[in-house]
Amino acid sequence: MSSENNVYQINKKNMKNIYEKLYNACNHASGVKKASKVKGMPFNPLLHDDVQRVAMAALLENRLYATCNYVTDITDKCVVVTCTMRITDIDDPKNFIIVDGCTAMGGLDKYGTGQAMSYSRKYAFLNALNLKTGMDLEDGYNAKPFQQNSVEQSSEPTYLDDEIDVEEIINRIKQTKSRKHLDIVKNEVRSVVNHLKNNNFKAYEQIRDESSKHEATLESNAKVYKKAIESLEQNRPNNNQS
Phi, psi of 130 (to 5 degrees): 50, 50
Residues ≥6 apart with Cβ < 8 Å to 56? 66
Question: Which of 24-28, 79-83, 157-161, 179-183 shows the lowest mean pLDDT across its residues?
Answer: 157-161
Identify the architecture of domain 1-158 in CATH.
2-Layer Sandwich (3.30)
List, in order, residues 6 or more apart from 100 with CB less than 8 Å away: 82, 84, 85
Give the residues across from 88 on adjacent strands: 65, 96
| Residue 97, φ and ψ in degrees, nearest 5 | -130, 160
**Residues 6 or more apart from 109 whose CB is under 8 A from it?**
200, 201, 202
Burial of 104 (0-12, 13-18, 19+ CB in 10 A): buried
The β-bridge relationship of strands 79-89 and 64-74 is antiparallel
Confidence of residue 140 (pLDDT cuts 50, 70, 90): very low
Rounded Cα distance, 62 and 159, in Å: 35
pLDDT (mean) for 91-112: 85
Handedness of CA 101, 72, 6, 88 (dihedral sign): negative
Domain range summary for the chain, segments of one domain joined by +:
1-158, 164-236
**Three-state SS letters, the chain:** CCHHHCHHHCCHHHHHHHHHHHHHHHHHCCCEECCCCCCCCCCCCCCHHHHHHHHHHHHHHCCEEEEEEEEEEECCCCEEEEEEEEEEECCCCCCEEEEEEEEEEECCCCCHHHHHHHHHHHHHHHHHHCCCEECCCCCHHHCCCCCCCCCCCCCCCCCCCCCCCHHHHHHHHHCCCCHHHHHHHHHHHHHHHHHHHHHCHHHHHHHHHHHHHHHHHHHHHHHHHHHHHHHHHHHCCCCCCC
CA–CA dist 201, 14 (Å, integer): 49
More confident residue, 86 or 6: 86
Banded pLDDT at 47 (limits 50, 70, 90)? confident
Question: Is a pLDDT exceeding 50 seen at residue 168?
Answer: yes
143 or 53: which carries more pLDDT confidence?
53
**How does pLDDT run across 57-68, given as a tens digit for each residue?**
999 999 999 999
Please report, rounded to a whole number, the percentage of residues in the chain having pLDDT higher than 70: 74
Binned at pLDDT 50, 70 and 90, residue 40 comes out as: low
Res 149: pLDDT: 43
pTM (two decimals): 0.52
Contact (Cβ atoms closer than 8 angstroms) between residue 105 and residue 78 = yes
pLDDT, the chain, mean: 76
Q: What is the pLDDT of residues 119-137, one digit of tens each?
A: 888 888 988 888 776 544 4
